[in-house]
Amino acid sequence: MLPYQPRSRFRPLCHTCGMLAVAFAVLISLLVFPSALPWMIAFWLAVHTVQAGRRRPAWMPLAVVVVVLLVKRPFWPAEMSVFVLLAGAAAAIELAGRPRQSSRRSHISLANLAVLWISWAAVAWAWHDAARYGGPRRFDPQRPVVCLGDSLTASMPLDRGYPDVLATLLRVNVVNLGEPGITTERSLARLPELTRANPQIVVIELGGHDYLKGHSREQTAQHLEQIIRTCREAGAKAVLVEIPRGLISDPFAGLERELARRYELELVPDTPIRCFALLSRMAPPGAWCTAWHYSDDGIHPNARGCRLLAGYVAHAASRLAGEKIRSSCTGRGDRRYSR
């Protein structure tokens, strides 16, 4: 008779729990906000590192992160392409099952880990660089901030729009050029009005209705570039608001981040707009949290949502014009507005 092994009966349960944990991690990775994408990659790379250090099959975490990135279709700089190629090659080599007992094999594994982490650092830096303005900060108390956008910018009937809240956070006037349902093409007609306002900063929250009305990414990009050029000709700095167009996959492939990096603009991440959908009364998890919501219809911000978005925009304005643009009655709280 075989000796009794008390742990054997728990192995199937542990295996099932492990598979459920992996499935949950994959789901969270697919739902992660663009601003946290480098940390999602770092998580799977850390799992790969631990598995490799324990001399266990380590190809699966790399395969997962490659597949997740391909499904999500985020902003895709050259650094991301290099990382995906390296991760895919490392996973293929691991899956091929080459000899593991030699010291040469361990040296190769350490070299692979070092290359992968260096490549990840390049991706993280490119992600950070795409969302930050790196030029000089200049503040002009006589020139306003202009907000150009759709219904997320325009004041709603029951609540003040975020530009109204923004005006209480800044020491300059805020001009609201929001128009419900406006596309990037339609917004070109408002550029003369924008120029006459003589702004020092223009907040561009456009592109959502382009996608809803079937406009192509190329058309939307051309119109946004025209708006950006007009802002520069007027001596104004532009802030792009990142627009979410899908819960998991982005059909416009990170358009705003691409333009922000190309033109060295400040980017407001789509985090607050995603909160309007996820933390509203319309769907979970917001429907389970009755104490507070950022939106009442799952799309447009309520008073709390306007304060959230205005805080992100005020932080972006201070990145462009310095802290002097902030109202003296407001705190900084900058750590909250991550990219």
Query: Any idea what the CATH number is for the domain that residue 328 is in?
Result: 3.40.50.1110
Pick the last residue of a domain from 78, 98, 129: 129
Task: Specify whether 24 is located in the same domain as 76.
Answer: yes
Task: Specify whether 77 is located in the same domain as 160.
Answer: no
On whether residue 66 sits in a domain, the answer given is: yes
Question: What confidence score (pLDDT) does residue 23 get?
Answer: 87
On whether residue 137 sits in a domain, the answer given is: no
On whether residue 140 sits in a domain, the answer given is: no
Task: Specify whether 153 is located in the same domain as 301.
Answer: yes
Task: Specify whether 56 is located in the same domain as 190.
Answer: no
Q: Is the pLDDT of residue 335 over 50?
A: no
Q: Is the pLDDT of residue 225 over 60?
A: yes
On whether residue 262 sits in a domain, the answer given is: yes
- Three-state DSSP class for 238? strand
Q: 289 is in which domain, residue-wise?
A: 145-336
Between 12 and 181, residue with greater pLDDT = 181
Task: Specify whether 243 is located in the same domain as 328.
Answer: yes
Task: Specify whether 26 is located in the same domain as 151.
Answer: no
- Domain count along the chain: 2
On whether residue 2 sits in a domain, the answer given is: no
Task: Specify whether 101 is located in the same domain as 198.
Answer: no
pTM: 0.86
Alpha carbon distance 24, 47 (integer Å): 14
How much helix, strand and coil, in percent to the nearest 5, is found in the chain?
55, 10, 35
Task: Specify whether 179 is located in the same domain as 268.
Answer: yes
Confidence of residue 97 (pLDDT cuts 50, 70, 90): low
On whether residue 3 sits in a domain, the answer given is: no
Q: Please list, in sequence order, all residues whose beta carbon lies within 8 angstroms of the beta carbon of residue 338, skipping any fewer than 6 positions away.
A: 35, 36, 269, 271
Task: Specify whether 92 is located in the same domain as 18.
Answer: yes
Residue 100 sits at φ, ψ, to 5 deg, of -110, -10
On whether residue 136 sits in a domain, the answer given is: no
Strand order of the sheet with strand 237-241? 174-178, 145-149, 201-205, 237-241, 266-268
Average pLDDT over residues 18-38: 88
Confidence of residue 106 (pLDDT cuts 50, 70, 90): low
Q: Please list, in sequence order, all residues whose beta carbon lies within 8 angstroms of the beta carbon of residue 263, skipping any fewer than 6 positions away.
A: 225, 228, 238
- CA-nearest of 175, 131, 179, 174 to 152 is 179
Question: What confidence score (pLDDT) does residue 104 get?
Answer: 47
Average pLDDT, the chain: 86
Angle separating helix axes 271-278 and 303-321, nearest 10 degrees: 170
Question: What confidence score (pLDDT) does residue 103 get?
Answer: 46
Average pLDDT over residues 23-35: 91
Alpha carbon distance 175, 145 (integer Å): 6
Question: What confidence score (pLDDT) does residue 245 get?
Answer: 92
Task: Specify whether 24 is located in the same domain as 159.
Answer: no
What stretch of H or E contains 217?
A: helix 217-233
Question: What confidence score (pLDDT) does residue 334 get?
Answer: 41
Please give the biggest Cα pair distance in the chain: 92
Task: Specify whether 212 is located in the same domain as 267.
Answer: yes
pLDDT digit string, tens, across residues 204-221? 999 999 999 999 999 999
Question: What confidence score (pLDDT) does residue 278 get?
Answer: 87
